[in-house]
Amino acid sequence: MSGLKSFGRFLAVPVLATALWTAPAAAQKSSVGGLYNITIAGLTIGRGSLALVLQGNAYSAKVGLEPAGIGTLFSTGKGGAQASGWLLGNKVVPSKYEMASHAANRDFYVALGQGSGHIRSMEVMPQFKPNKERIKVTRKHRNNAMDPLSAALMPVPTRDNMIGPEACKRKLPIFDGWTRFDIKMTYKGTKNVSGHGYNGPVVVCKAKWIPVAGHRPSKESVKYMAKAGMETWLAPLGGNVLIPYRISIDTKTGRLVVQASQLNIKSGAGDQAAR
């Protein structure tokens, strides 16, 4: 299924990783494990898993993705990613990122070295074929950017009014090894949700994909993604951190939804929670 392949390459990793991130302020060490479902037009096409450990202000995360349901009929693709770095106040400062996947009989691999909020080194396979129309990725595009998995961590300045307009005021500058793009978020409203791994309030944000470099402006997929309706529901899951509980994207074949089905949280104080 081509939709699952495309989703897996540039979107699944950040989406799935963010579904399960938390940072309890009082705990010296915390760990999170979770499962979540990916559906399109109400039909299951994939499942993911994530494991994350927060030690002090350092984080490390791993995420996996594989087809499920009708997705197994159209794709043998699967993959995973891992990232590490630090949380400094309300900023995420990544260090390393690695992604490997296999889809449509091809292998994809990315390794990024990061520092001071910039992409310092990169190894990518395969490379894009030369094309005069493609907007070239330069050093300035790799500055003030981060990998997709680290971009999933969303700390806020304070715990006050976490479920409100301020939570959605962010633009995520992402470099996935091939392309540089932004995800701009704006406030839409609030909801109360239950089940599917979380019970409580969420803030609903509209999201917009903005291509910056590495893409071909005339491609229909680029034009469609730039106009596609996107939405994310952010939930407070410890400390001053908000995470996407649900992300939805309108596609030509129906609405694509990623939603946590189970969250298991362990804090350094020995507390356990299954939300």
- pLDDT at residue 107, as a whole number: 92
Which residues touch 269 (CB under 8 Å, ≥6 apart)?
A: 26, 27
Q: Which residues contact 227 (CB under 8 A, 6 or more apart)?
A: none
Give the pLDDT of residue 109.
96
- Which of 172, 168, 213, 219 minimizes the C-alpha distance to 13? 172
Give me the residues paired with residue 235 across strands.
243
Distance CA 198, CA 76 (A): 30
pLDDT value for 77:
66
Query: Do 74 and 68 touch, CB atoms closer than 8 A?
Result: no
For the stretch 186-237, pLDDT in tens is: 999 999 988 776 788 889 999 999 999 999 999 999 999 999 999 998 877 6
For the chain, what percentages of helix, strand and coil (3-state, to nearest 5) are there? 15, 55, 30
Q: Are 214 and 182 in contact (CB under 8 A)?
A: no
What is the DSSP pairing of strand 154-155 with strand 118-125?
Answer: unpaired
How many Å apart are CA 233 and CA 223, to the nearest integer? Answer: 25
pLDDT at 8: 43
Other beta carbons within 10 angstroms of residue 191's beta carbon come to 15
108-112 long-range contacts, Cβ below 8 Å, gap at least 24?
Answer: 108/9, 108/79, 110/176, 110/177, 110/178, 112/147, 112/175, 112/177
Q: Give the model's pLDDT for residue 268.
A: 54
Note the pTM of the prediction, 2 decimals. Answer: 0.82
Instruction: In whole angstroms, give the CA distance from residue 202 to residue 72.
Output: 32
CB 264 within 8 A of CB 274: yes
**How many other CB atoms are found less than 10 A from the CB of residue 130?**
6
List the chain pLDDT tens, one digit each, 275 residues: 444 444 444 444 444 443 333 333 344 576 667 788 889 999 988 888 877 777 878 888 889 988 877 765 555 568 999 999 998 878 889 999 999 998 878 899 999 999 999 999 999 999 998 899 999 999 999 999 999 999 888 888 777 778 889 889 999 999 999 999 999 999 999 999 887 767 888 899 999 999 999 999 999 999 999 999 999 988 776 667 777 788 899 998 899 998 888 866 565 544 444 44
**Beta bridge partners of residue 33, listed in sequence order:** 51, 264
Interatomic CA distance for residues 63 and 48, integer angstroms: 7
